[in-house]
Amino acid sequence: MKAITFVNVSVVGPDRSGAIAAITQKLFQLGANIESLEEQVTRGKFRMNLLASWKADCLHDRRVKTELESVALQLRMKLALRLASGACRHRRLGLMVTKETHAAEAILREWKSGRLNAEPVLIAGNHPQMRTLARRYGVPFQFIDYRDRQKAETHLQDVLEKAEADLLVLARFMKILSPDFVWHWKNRIINIHPSLLPAFPGASAYRQAYDKGVKIVGVTAHFVTPDLDQGPILCQDALRLRPDEPLESIIQRGQKLEAACLLRALKLCLNRQLDVHWGRVHGV
């Protein structure tokens, strides 16, 4: 049996009649088989994700990219393509960071030790001092200026595509990604949140837990969706608080838990075939 190559195609832009037909007909002309398709229209914005497949020796990726980009240009839409099968190579990771390094370093140390079936190909951050972290591990760094989110995400999408990233890991990245950006990376963005979601979403989760006087705090690794901190959960972990434990100690212990839980979630994504149905991850 000949090998099959799968390609994820995502399209975002103004809602236009015939958009689905234009993309799918072009894929048919290019010899593709449509494996799955999901589309959504919200407030005049069209978003579509589809999985196309070719026999491995029948995929001419440059032609596919050029011709689909031409269709997207006519529709005034943004298109992104990514190989969906990692069987022929290590999965390629984009890591996003802000100021804290503990989560990213856990992944980078595991990679350097040879225990991670993936390769970090880019570290992107909204603080230039994170370049030091990237230099220490020999990974390219890209500063992303997030003062204008639309420009920042256009820049980020470009550098991730050039790096041929398969998965995006938010290693304590403290900016909110737009629905359009998330749609291009549906079920391919992993985040670590410092609480047992759905409790204490949003910012300052440890402070929220401390102020409420909870006795157990935890962390949650989840796929990112347009709804803040509401994505399908990959794994969780928790720790019991000591009597009168100060907030600083809770944060310090929680950060160790964050790093371990994020790394475990990443390995689940790399080593297992996971499906997401009705907001739940199956196969974990």
| Dihedral pair phi/psi, residue 121, rounded to 5° | -110, -10
Q: Do residues 7 and 53 touch, judged by C-beta distance below 8 A? A: yes
Question: Angle, to 10 degrees, between the axis of helix 19-29 and the axis of helix 61-75?
Answer: 160
Distance CA 132, CA 105 (A): 12
Torsion angle in degrees (nearest 10) through CA of 126, 128, 160, 175:
-10
Residue of 117, 164, 158, 121 whose CA lies nearest to 7: 164
Residue of 194, 186, 187, 190 whose CA lies nearest to 214: 194
Residue of 173, 176, 261 whose CA lies nearest to 217: 261
**Alpha helices per DSSP H over 138-245:** 149-162, 179-184, 205-212
Q: Which DSSP helix (H) or strand (E) runs through 47?
A: strand 45-55
Single-letter amino acid code for the residue at 143? F
Distance CA 280, CA 273 (A): 14
Single-letter amino acid code for the residue at 267? K
Q: Which residues does the annotation mark as catalytic?
A: 229
Single-letter amino acid code for the residue at 185? W
State how beta strands 4-14 and 45-55 pair. Answer: antiparallel
Q: Quickly count: other Cβ atoms within 10 Å of residue 55's Cβ.
A: 13
Distance CA 90, CA 120 (A): 10
